[in-house]
Amino acid sequence: MIRIALLAVLLAVAACGEAPTTGSAGASPTTSSSPAAKASPSAAAGPKVLFTKSGTGTAKTKIFTTPSEWQLIYTFNCANFGFAGNFIVTLYDGGSILIDLPVNASGKKGGDTIFEHNLSGPYYLDINSECKWTVVVKG
């Protein structure tokens, strides 16, 4: 009976074109997964932090260089202001050319992640707010 089951397994494997692995009698054959099916370590790592800055009020960040795909993560809290406030972030090239206005928010507090696509280069952020805030750029 075991010989018939083993023969059936071998015939099924031969029809698929795969060789069985060694193991105990009656055990089903196993195959290894392809390298493409395994996740690469770099894909799991995610974007790296390019810089972080926290403050209150207005500020300009240092110049940072981004890859073509990057993200701006921000939070603001206006408890120190006592009322709802504004939080505006303007993106400039390494000089003085306005590139984008990724954030124009108001409220007592807030936050979000802004994804930038096909936009690489040296940039800096001009932050205008009466609130406490934090910005993180990842790329």
pLDDT per residue as tens, the chain (139 positions): 433 333 343 344 344 444 444 444 444 444 444 444 454 455 567 899 999 999 999 999 999 999 999 999 999 999 988 899 999 999 999 889 999 999 999 999 999 999 999 999 999 999 999 999 999 999 9
Give residue 63's identity as a one-letter amino acid code: I
16 contacts: CB under 8 Å, gap ≥ 6 = none
SS3 18: coil
| Structure confidence at residue 81 (pLDDT) | 82
Percent of the chain whose pLDDT exceeds 90: 63
Instruction: Give CA–CA dist 68/50, Å, rounded.
Output: 13
Distant-in-sequence contacts of 117-121, Cβ < 8 A, 24+ apart: 117/68, 117/69, 118/68, 118/69, 119/66, 119/68, 119/70, 120/65, 120/66, 120/67, 120/68, 120/70, 121/65, 121/66, 121/93, 121/94
| Structure confidence at residue 19 (pLDDT) | 41
| Structure confidence at residue 32 (pLDDT) | 42
Q: What is the pLDDT of residues 64-76, one digit of tens each?
A: 999 999 999 999 9
Give CA torsion, residues 126, 135, 108, 112, to 10 deg: 110
